[in-house]
């Protein structure tokens, strides 16, 4: 079976735009397996927490750090993903964390404008040598709150962030100016499409006002030499045990184990 592989032209586009959309990175059988596992994953359900937007609407997510042999990890460890990340980061990468986003119909909240490095800078990473890989498990449309990005905004560098609801949001003044000068894009995706985006790319998503859920799996990666100077989590500097692309379908792996090192919501704040 042929699997999508990133190339130097993809790298040029990523460096210019701050994101790269790859259509059908996963085939129908792969995305069907992952989606079926995710919606029936009791551990994910138990470990998920709500995140409020500025209007009080809630989005559910579960976040964990270390990779294992579960189906989600097999995708995050796959050659096509890891080799693509290594190409874009220009070196060996480590897995920082993964999260399963669950934006349910009518109640799934918005995500305010932010840069991921706006969060991760606070975790002690000195350099924005980091990116995220978002794989759509269901169709992602304007109606159900698809991701929006500001093209080329990663070239602005990190901008100031403050709290908006229970989220860390980017300076609205800077966002407004960026939108005046750059293109705002709605990244609509089919199930199985994958988006690579830079840690300084400004992005957001609207609330889900449709009748359809929007589920996505997002894995964040760090250049392995970009060691944070604080915190005790080692996943962001641990080499990835890469697996062949066909392992996801051939393996009998199911959902994540209960003893995985999940991020738990604290009463007063969440830091991702």
Q: Distance between CA atoms of 19 and 168, rounded to whole angstroms?
A: 21
Summarize pLDDT for 2-46 with one digit per residue, the tens: 999 999 999 999 999 999 999 999 999 999 999 999 999 999 999
Given a cut of 50, whether residue 269 has pLDDT beyond it is no
Average pLDDT over residues 119-144: 97
First-to-final CA distance of the chain: 36
Backbone angles phi, psi at 238, to 5 degrees: -95, 125
d(CA 220, CA 191): 19
Could you confirm whether domain 8-240 is CATH 2.60.120.620?
Answer: yes
**How many other CB atoms are there within 10 angstroms of residue 271's CB atom?**
11
Partners of residue 222 on adjacent β-strands = 94, 130
pLDDT value of position 260: 95
Domain boundaries, given as residue ranges, for the chain: 8-240
230: three-class secondary structure by DSSP: coil
Residue 28's CB is within 10 A of a number of other CB atoms, namely 11
Closest C-alpha to 185, from 233, 219, 151: 151
Kindly state the average pLDDT of the residues 133-137: 99
Quickly state the pLDDT bin for 272 (edges 50, 70, 90): very low
pLDDT band at 180 (very low <50, low <70, confident <90, very high): very high
Our CA dihedral for 33, 36, 40, 44, rounded to 10 degrees, sits at 60
Indicate if the pLDDT at residue 166 is higher than 90: no
Q: How far apart are CA 251 and CA 194, in angstroms?
A: 21
């Amino acid at each position: 079976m042929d699997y999508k592989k990133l190339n130097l032209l993809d790298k040029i586009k990523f460096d210019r735009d701050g994101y790269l959309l790859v259509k059908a990175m996963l085939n129908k059988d792969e995305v069907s397996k992952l989606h079926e596992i995710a919606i029936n994953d009791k551990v994910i359900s138990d470990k998920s927490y709500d995140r409020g937007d500025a209007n009080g609407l809630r989005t559910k997510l579960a976040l964990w750090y270390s990779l294992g042999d579960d189906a989600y990890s097999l995708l995050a460890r796959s050659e096509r993903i890891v080799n693509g990340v290594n190409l874009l980061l220009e070196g060996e990468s480590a897995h920082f964390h993964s999260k399963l986003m669950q934006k349910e119909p009518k109640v799934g909240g918005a995500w305010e404008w932010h840069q991921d490095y706006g969060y991760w800078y606070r975790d002690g990473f000195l350099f924005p040598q980091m990116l995220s890989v978002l794989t759509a498990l269901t169709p992602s449309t304007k109606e159900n709150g698809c991701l929006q990005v500001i093209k080329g905004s990663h070239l602005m560098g990190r901008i100031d962030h403050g709290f908006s609801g229970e989220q860390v949001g980017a300076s609205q003044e800077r966002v407004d100016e960026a939108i005046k000068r750059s293109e705002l894009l709605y990244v609509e995706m089919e199930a199985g499409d994958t988006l690579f985006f830079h840690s300084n790319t400004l992005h957001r998503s609207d609330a889900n006002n449709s009748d359809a859920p929007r589920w996505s799996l997002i894995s964040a990666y760090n250049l392995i030499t970009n060691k944070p100077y604080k915190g005790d989590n080692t996943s962001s500097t641990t080499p990835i045990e890469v697996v062949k692309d066909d392992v996801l379908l051939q393996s009998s792996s199911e959902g994540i184990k209960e003893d995985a090192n999940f991020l738990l919501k604290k009463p007063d704040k969440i830091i991702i």
